[in-house]
Chains A and B, each alone.
Chain A
Amino acid sequence: MKIERTVALVAAMALLVPALSFAGGRSESGGPTQYTIEVTGSTSVSPLMESFAETYSAAHPHVSINVSGTGSGDGITGANTGVAELGMSSRSLRPTELGFGLDVLTVAIDAIAVIVHPDNPVSGLSRDQVRQIYTGEITNWNQVGGPDRPIAVVSREPGSGTRGAFEEVVDFVDRLVSGAIEFDGTGGVRASVAGNLNAIGYISLGSITHEVKALDIEGVAATGANVTSGAYTIARPFLVLYRQEKTASETDRFLEWMVSPEAQAIVERNYVRIN
């Protein structure tokens, strides 16, 4: 019996050990100073962070930056627990999250554009009208000068940074009309609006494509210039969260670089630079 047990145990180990060691395995190629910065969080900040990562890694080949867009909540929790060195958030921290004592760096300002199908004749709304549409007081496009069609309200899911910021700025916190369509991620909202003539949605200004049309709010177009001048008010900061005492020197340098003129020039392509 003893021999069999030993044989079996060894065989089982031989099967399991390589499988388990995959989890901890990390290749150490490319020189001794190779460093990987893990960045996780908001799906709205991710595109900007990816352009940052691309430019920064090109100039600093020994630093690789892994960006994963999972959500603002995840970014804040990740930075708090140390799962990721840097967290991204597209909304200000909530009262309980402020208690984590994280360091916060604002890397850009982003406008939230209210979008409709390109064939929708409505080109602008007042902020009150937007609120009434999202709380269900306005249900037909003809109430805001459009054709006689029902309005399909498209929103982000609860907890989304974009949704939190939008509800706060437009002032209908947690009063979204029931029956609204909810999607996770900027892409989902954009695709849903692009495919439905009745739909209204909201996404980051930097993620607008020709598939959708951004509405003027109070007669002001959603553009970077109008956000800078303060005329377009539906805007929120893009935050990077970290713990000063725990970040590596490579990460500190990357953080410094993000507010440098070179990085802010990248910001300016789609978002609003910080001053």
Chain B
Amino acid sequence: MNHGDSKLCAPTDARATLDDRDRLPCEFPGQAARPEYAMSSSTRIIVDRSLRHIFRIVSFFSVIALAAMVIFVFAQGLGPFFFPTAPSIAVVLENIPSARINGSLYENHRRAIPLDPEASYLTIEFPLSGTPTRISLPLYRNVEDPGRSIEFPPELQDYLSSPEHLSYTLSFPGSLPGLEPRIHINIPEPPYSFRSFITGREWRPVYRKMYGIFPMIIATLLSALGAVLVGAPVALLSCVLIAEFLPPRLSAAVTGAIELLAGIPSVVYGFFGLMIVVPGIQRLFGSASGSSIAAAIAILSLMILPTIVTIGVTALRSVPATLREASLALGATKMQTAWCVVCTSAKSGLVTGVVLGTARALGETMAVILVAGNSPQIPVSLVSSVRTLTATIALEMGYSAGRHNEMLFSIGIILFLLIFLLNGVIMRLRGKMHTEVSS
């Protein structure tokens, strides 16, 4: 098989589709004059169509992969807003070999024992240093404040502790140190309100079970905005310089260097930031630490440069030379031509570059973790330590469990939405510009 040759008899008419080529394989001049073209037309049709099916199947798989990812993130991330963490209160016995809970006997049971969701009391009977003991706790259906759905009588208060929100532990004195009998009562967390998730200002996921990501949304948007405000003008000016003013050889060298910049792994940017930018900012502002939103903006603006420059230069170069020539012929200077003619015609491409740069700044994780300080607070100054949405996922995924883990997927959903929004913006801007150009 000689695939390379099949393109030789492709139609010159750009409007012809792949199907036309299949049907009209040999109606092009020059076909007969090529004796080296060995494949018969019917074989070639089979090869072409097979290739087309391969393309379809392969792209089908990538669509499936994308869909699977979206479904996975949404399925994991939406759970906390609709379901409680467990259907009912659960009891865990520690160092209690045998106990009777609401009438049922549990021997050497270490797993959580779920109660009947309708139960109005919790009765635990167990031997405590030899003497049979009975604890009876009334249960309430308290939707507003689940912490109050169980009542501990005053005589148990001495044994009671609450290691974390909605968890109660009764520890009794035991015969051996470290082997004290303990009863843990875990009340399920109710569905979390989406509003408190978005607008909540406290991210205290472990003990207090507060999952407010407002500070992270603000930090993400501010650091991306800052990076674009600093990086985009620099990048756009570089585009114009490279595409319009530099001699070809130098322009190629600069483009190559910038493309190299795009290939540097983000952790290297982060390392550079940690070693150079962070101490620099600390010295400049005299703050306690240089890990701050300013450092994040500095690194991000550097990182989005190659994205904007690469796309921008391509856009500027694709402006037809006839436009430039016409402008110069009309007496405009080279500078006027670059600004008023070339940049105006390439506006859509330049805007695409900036929006993609913004997307990169929003999504960047590794470099930001290293320089931003990662405190989930709303920044009050340039030297505030901040944490972005992506950084939260990366920092806590390995350490989280249960709802905390699901909430990280919920953050993933928010990131998805941000990117959808950004893509919407890019499409609208493009549509608008196309109509402007054509009208």
Whether A157 lies near B395 (C-beta < 8 A) is: yes
A179 at the interface (CB under 8 A from B): yes
Take A70-B398, A152-B289, A157-B395 as given contacts and tell me if A8 and B54 are in contact as well, using a CB distance cutoff of 8 Å: yes
Whether A157 lies near B203 (C-beta < 8 A) is: no
Mask, B160-176, CB within 8 Å of A = 1, is 00011001010000000
Whether B289 lies near A9 (C-beta < 8 A) is: no
Range for the number of chain A residues in contact with chain B? 35 or more
Bound-state CA distance A188–B377 (Å) is 20
Whether A99 lies near B112 (C-beta < 8 A) is: yes
Whether B402 lies near A96 (C-beta < 8 A) is: yes
Mark out the residues of chain B between 78 and 99 whose CB falls within 8 Å of any chain A CB in the assembled complex.
90, 92, 94
Whether B57 lies near A8 (C-beta < 8 A) is: yes
A59 at the interface (CB under 8 A from B): no
User: Would you call the interface of chain B mostly helix, strand, loop, or mixed?
Assistant: mixed
Q: How many A-B Cβ pairs are below 8 Å?
A: 163
Whether A11 lies near B375 (C-beta < 8 A) is: no
Q: Which residues of A contact B223 (CB under 8 A)?
A: none
When the two chains form the complex, which single residue of A157, A198, A199 contacts B374, counting CB atoms closer than 8 Å?
A157
When the two chains form the complex, which single residue of B54, B109, B396 contacts A159, counting CB atoms closer than 8 Å?
B396
Q: Which residues of B contact A11 (CB under 8 A)?
A: 50, 54
Whether A72 lies near B399 (C-beta < 8 A) is: yes
Q: Which of B67-75, B143-151, B204-212, B356-364 contacts A (4 or more CB under 8 A)?
A: B204-212
Bound-state CA distance A173–B375 (Å) is 16
B400 at the interface (CB under 8 A from A): yes
B376 at the interface (CB under 8 A from A): yes
Whether B369 lies near A184 (C-beta < 8 A) is: yes
Mask, B28-68, CB within 8 Å of A = 1, is 00000000000000000010011111101110010000000
Whether A179 lies near B384 (C-beta < 8 A) is: yes
B200 at the interface (CB under 8 A from A): no
Whether A95 lies near B184 (C-beta < 8 A) is: yes
Bound-state CA distance A178–B369 (Å) is 17
Closest chain-A Cβ to B339's Cβ sits at a distance in Å of: 44
Mark out the residues of chain B between 202 and 222 whose CB falls within 8 Å of any chain A CB in the assembled complex.
203-208
Whether A73 lies near B184 (C-beta < 8 A) is: no
Mask, B282-295, CB within 8 Å of A = 1, is 10000111110000
Bound-state CA distance A7–B52 (Å) is 11
Whether A158 lies near B50 (C-beta < 8 A) is: no
Please give me the 4 A-B residue pairs with the lowest Cβ-Cβ distance, nearest first. Answer: A99-B112, A159-B399, A8-B53, A71-B398
Residues of B within 8 A of A (CB): 46, 49-54, 56-58, 61, 90, 92, 94, 109-112, 163-164, 167, 169, 184, 186, 203-208, 274-275, 278-279, 282, 287-291, 369, 373-377, 384-385, 387, 394-402, 404-405
Additional pairs, 19, CB under 8 Å, beyond known A151-B288, A157-B399, A184-B396 = A7-B46, A8-B50, A8-B57, A9-B53, A11-B50, A16-B61, A76-B401, A94-B401, A95-B186, A101-B109, A152-B291, A157-B396, A158-B205, A161-B399, A180-B375, A181-B289, A181-B291, A181-B375, A192-B291
